[in-house]
Structures are given as C-alpha cells and as structure tokens.
Amino acid sequence: MTRKVAAALGLLIVGFTLVVALFGPSVVRADPFAQDLMNRLKPPAFMGGTDAHWLGTDQLGRDYLARLVYGARISLLIGAAAALTSGVIGITLGLLGGFFGGRVDDAVMFAITCRLSIPLILVALAVVSAVGASLTIVVTTLGLLLWDRFAVVARTTTMQVRTLDYVAAAEAAGAGLFHVLFREVLPNIAPHLVVVATLEVALAILLEAVLSFLGLGVPAPLPSWGLMIAEGKDYMFFDPWVIMVPGLALFTLVLGINLVGDGLRDLFGVRRRV
C-alpha cells in the first residue's frame, strides 16, 4: 500500500515538473533574463514580498519564479538526453559482452573497470573546461561518462537470457545477430534497463547541478538550478531563501524520479542492485 502511494507521489512530482517545463514559461509571463537592478533580492510573496514577483527576485532583479520554471526545462532536458546517450553506449556494450562472453566480455568488463576508476566529477569538469561550457557539451560529457550501470545491468541480464530456449529457437530459425540481440534479447531485459534509466536521469540532473554550481556546467545567464544556487551563495547568509528555493526544486525532482524508479522496479519484479 505505502509503496503504491510512494510511486504515485513520484509520478505526480515528475508529471508536474514535466508540465511546468513544457507550459510554465508561457504561463509565467515574467522574462527569466530581464534584469531590474532597482528590485534586487526581493523576498517571495509568502515571506513579505509582493505579488508581482511571487518567488521574489535574484541578485540582478530577475524574476525567481520565471527562472525556476525555465530551469526545470534545462534539468529535464539534460537528464533525458544524457541518459539516452549513455543508455545507447552502455546497453550496446553490455549486450555484446553478455551475449558473446569470452574475450569480448573481457574487453567490456575492462572498459567498465576503467570507467569506474576515473574520478567522475573531476574528469567532467576538466572536459567541459577544455572544450568550453555549453548545454550540448554538458549533455555529451555526462552521456559519455554515465554508461557504466547500463553496461553492468545489460551484461548480467543478457547472460541470464542468452541460454533460454527462445534465443536458441531464433538462432535455429536462421535469425541474424542483429535480430537476436535487438529483437529477442533486448525486449526481454528491457524492464531492468528502464529502472536503470530512471536512476541515470536522476544522477545526470544532480551532476549537471554540481557542474553548474562549480561554474563549469550550463553557462550563465541560463537559469540552471545549480547555477542559481551558485549565484545565490554569496547572499545566503542574509537571504537563505535564495538557495533554498532552487535546492528544494532539485531535491524534489530527483526524489520524484527515484520514487518512479522504485515503483517500476516493483511493477516489473526487478531485484534491487546496489
């Protein structure tokens, strides 16, 4: 019972964020980029501010609600695009390793071990700094770094499926390698991969926020939630809400995605992997 409530709550959070990201910018009329230096750091309406800026304004007088809503777009976009990229890489590697075993599998395991050995955040920072910060670069960098869990899960589940009768039947019927891998094996391990995908979307969103917070992610003036926290950091002692608002948004979205992931795990009967 509680599990269903948790999954429903997760769906509600993710669904709400999706709606906000898609339609929010046309409902919130304020411009997330328009500066108003006479009205800097106005508190939210419920903390003594005015209705003109419901969530207050930032250090440059930009409407905080408009920036938060626009930031949801960036978070979801980066989360989905990075998970998609890393999914393609990781699932291909995992399928090949798990299906062929032997030398191929050794090579795949080696790639996974190497990937896990390099420090994720530092390498992402170095790449973004070297190539130049932009939305595309952040997505590509995260996509190229976050494939390890996809590969591990695809590999183990492919190994379990590989010896089953329907795979042998397809091979006996003369199906090509491509058909066997992507039409027979992949659909049968898909539930596991969908669960991994939710985890990776959440992780990519958190990492984008970290990179932007450290100044090497989404470039200003784009309103990434991580960047909003970085910009608000200098004012947090007097106006803590400046970092509370984007931080709570980030926390809630990631929690929601994880809740959906747990719900899917229960639905598919997939066992949790650490």
Partner 1 sequence: MWRFLLRRAVLAVLVCGTVLVLSFSLTRVAGDPALAVAGPQASAADIQAIRVAYGLDRPLPTQFFDWVGKAARGDLGRSYLFREPVANLVRDRLPVTLTLGLVGLAFALVIALPLGIVAALNEGRPLDRVVTLVALLGQALPSFWLGLMLIILFGLRLQWLPIAGVEDWTGFILPGLVLSFSAIPALLRLTRSGMIDAMASDYIRTARAGGLSRASIVCKHAARNAAMPVVAIAAVQLGFMLGGSIVIETVFNLPGVGYLAWESVSKNDFPVVQAVVLLLALIYIGLTLGADMLNALLDPRLRA
Binding stretches for partner 1 (CB under 8 A): 2, 110, 113-114, 116-123, 125-127, 129-131, 202, 206, 209-210, 213-216, 226, 229, 233, 236-237, 240, 243-244, 247, 250-252, 254-255, 258-259, 262, 272, 274
- Is 24 or 226 the residue whose CB approaches partner 1 more closely? 226
- Is 50 or 113 the residue whose CB approaches partner 1 more closely? 113
Give the residue ranges of DSSP H helices in the chain: 2-27, 64-100, 102-117, 120-131, 135-145, 148-162, 165-172, 177-179, 186-213, 225-232, 241-268
Q: Which phi and psi (to 5°) does residue 57 adopt?
A: -130, 160
We find the least distance from the C-beta atom of residue 29 to partner 1, in angstroms, to be 28
Of 27, 15, 32, residue with least CA distance to 70: 32
- Residue 232, classed as helix, strand or coil, is helix
**135 burial level (CB within 10 Å; 0-12, 13-18, 19+):** middle
- Is 110 or 182 the residue whose CB approaches partner 1 more closely? 110
Of 71, 32, 87, residue with least CA distance to 199: 87
Can you tell me the distance from the alpha carbon of 32 to that of 26, in angstroms, rounded to the nearest whole number?
11
We find the least distance from the C-beta atom of residue 68 to partner 1, in angstroms, to be 14
- Is 29 or 271 the residue whose CB approaches partner 1 more closely? 271
Adjacent-strand bridge partners of 63: 57
- Is 119 or 174 the residue whose CB approaches partner 1 more closely? 119
Contact 273, 263 (CB under 8 A): no
- Is 65 or 206 the residue whose CB approaches partner 1 more closely? 206
Q: For residue 132, what are the contacts with CB-CB under 8 A and spacing of at least 6?
A: none
- Is 12 or 114 the residue whose CB approaches partner 1 more closely? 114
We find the least distance from the C-beta atom of residue 24 to partner 1, in angstroms, to be 21
We find the least distance from the C-beta atom of residue 244 to partner 1, in angstroms, to be 7
Q: Which two tokens stand for residue 231?
A: 């910009």
Of 96, 56, 101, 114, residue with least CA distance to 186: 96
We find the least distance from the C-beta atom of residue 182 to partner 1, in angstroms, to be 29
We find the least distance from the C-beta atom of residue 103 to partner 1, in angstroms, to be 14
We find the least distance from the C-beta atom of residue 157 to partner 1, in angstroms, to be 19
CA angle 18, 21, 23 (to 5 degrees): 100
